[in-house]
Amino acid sequence: MTALTSLADVRAADFDAREEFARHLDSIDELRDLRREFEIPKHTNGNDVLYFCGNSLGLMPTRARTIVNRELDDWSRLGVEGHFHAASPWFPYHEQFRDSGARLVGGKPGEVVMMNSLTVNLHLLMVSFFRPEGRRTKILIEDGAFPSDTYAVKTHLASRGLDWREHLILATPRAGERCFRTADLEALIRTAGDTLALTMLSGVQFFTGQFFDIARLTKAAHDVGAFAGWDLAHAAGNVELRLHDWNVDFAAWCSYKYVNAGPGAIAGAFVHERHGANSALPRYAGWWGNDPATRFQMQLIPDFVPRVGADGWQLSNPPILAMAPLRASLDLFDKATMPRLRAKSRVLTGYLWHLLRTFAPDARSWEVITPSDTEERGSQLSILVHDQPRERFRALGEAGVVCDFREPNVIRVAPTASYNTFMDVWRFAKILAGGGA
């Protein structure tokens, strides 16, 4: 066991269910100190909860409070002058995320802007990238997508006078399977051919935790002449993304899950640079998407001159108080880096699965519906519980575990590399198996 000196060397064959092994993994985790940068909620017994809900709402970076308070102080001290004289001036506030936001998702600076909320951004980007014309009128999403995406796509179709029953393609997994096969999705896209205008799949599926092959599926869409957009709500800050290299047309994600920027945090949007300079792309415009050089010419220049890059899709001036926590959270991503977080997450999540099999080997009572291949999942395991799912979920809560339940019988657990420990997953597995911890 002690021969293992780096998480990078840990293979599934090394896994050992003894508590001392979990402690050893924590001792060789080079990101272990990152946990101290977060506020960990307490259980009623006074101990830290076992927090596995980073796929829903990530924990608060401790510095977020200081940063938000600083903006409040600047507002009280400076009033409107804060736009240019705050410690972090508000006029260009969003620009400070140009590089860190791009690094998070593998974009180039200028391809990413932080703005609005996720569903809003999906609509705004569909305005530009859903261009129905002639036979090419269809949008493809996965069946069982997050409801907001389904609502967005159906109503977006309706706003263009298209009935979703005719123009929405719902991809389904094979009978008896829960996850999608990439080759099947590619075949579906090929079959849709020149009727397909847009694919808008999840990067990581919220229910099963499946990480889609974004590069292959983007190429498949392009091969038939469609655009490829991605909902990265469960992917951003969770898995390594290379949106620029993968040629993704657009993507949108929220920042309150793995990005840890707070409830309802300001979301992100990516527009590939090959589209960013195309001012002919239709869009809903607002003054903040206008070239900043002429933004304050106001009524003198009534024509919209979009700023090149993703910034050109902004509508309104940034909500500073809501945006401030992003500074704390993205600084931590820059400190930890996505490759190191992902390397830890692979071992953390794989170890959890190993422990479940060891502590609760009865295959009749539960099954993990997340892909078993590490490369096809992120931090989440979705555990389908056959035997008393609600009771087991309740028992987890009583024992100080925070995770979530998706009807009718799935417990989602997200060991998050930023703040979860190997002892957290060890304790979780013990509690779920009914052995206490």
Ligand X SMILES: Cc1ncc(COP(=O)(O)O)c(C=O)c1O
Name the residue nearer to ligand X (CB basis): 266 or 399: 266
Contact flag: residue 254 with ligand X (CB under 6 A) = yes
The region of 212-220, 230-238, 281-289, 383-391 touching ligand X under the rule CB under 6 A is 230-238
* 164-203 footprint of ligand X as x/- string (CB under 6 A): --------------------------------------x-
- Checking DSSP bridges between strand 268-271 and strand 196-202, what pairing results, if any? unpaired
Quote the CA–CA distance of 51 and 298 in Å, as a whole number. Answer: 48
**Residues 7 and 344 sit within 8 Å (Cβ to Cβ):** yes
Quote the CA–CA distance of 382 and 371 in Å, as a whole number. Answer: 9
Q: Region of 244 please: left (phi>0), alpha (psi -120 to 50) or beta.
A: alpha
Q: How many CB atoms lie within 10 A of CB 187?
A: 12
Quote the CA–CA distance of 401 and 394 in Å, as a whole number. Answer: 9
* Long-range contact pairs involving 38-44 (C-beta distance under 8 Å, separation at least 24): 38/62, 38/260, 38/418, 38/419, 40/419, 41/402, 43/400, 44/400
Q: Which residues pair with 419 in a beta bridge?
A: none
Number of residues that bind ligand X (CB under 6 A): 13
Contact flag: residue 118 with ligand X (CB under 6 A) = yes
Which residue from 146, 212, 250, 258 is in contact with ligand X, where contact means CB under 6 A?
A: 146
CB of 323 to ligand X, least distance (A): 14
| Residues 302 to 361 in contact with ligand X, rule: CB under 6 A | none
Contact flag: residue 211 with ligand X (CB under 6 A) = no
What are 97's two structure tokens? 């995320």
Contact flag: residue 149 with ligand X (CB under 6 A) = yes
CB of 232 to ligand X, least distance (A): 8
The region of 41-49, 189-197, 226-234, 277-285 touching ligand X under the rule CB under 6 A is 226-234
CB of 147 to ligand X, least distance (A): 8
Contact flag: residue 206 with ligand X (CB under 6 A) = yes
CB of 159 to ligand X, least distance (A): 17
User: How many angstroms from the chain centroid is the CA of residue 275?
Assistant: 23
Contact flag: residue 114 with ligand X (CB under 6 A) = no
Binding site for ligand X (CB under 6 A): 117-119, 146, 148-149, 202, 206, 231, 233-234, 254, 267
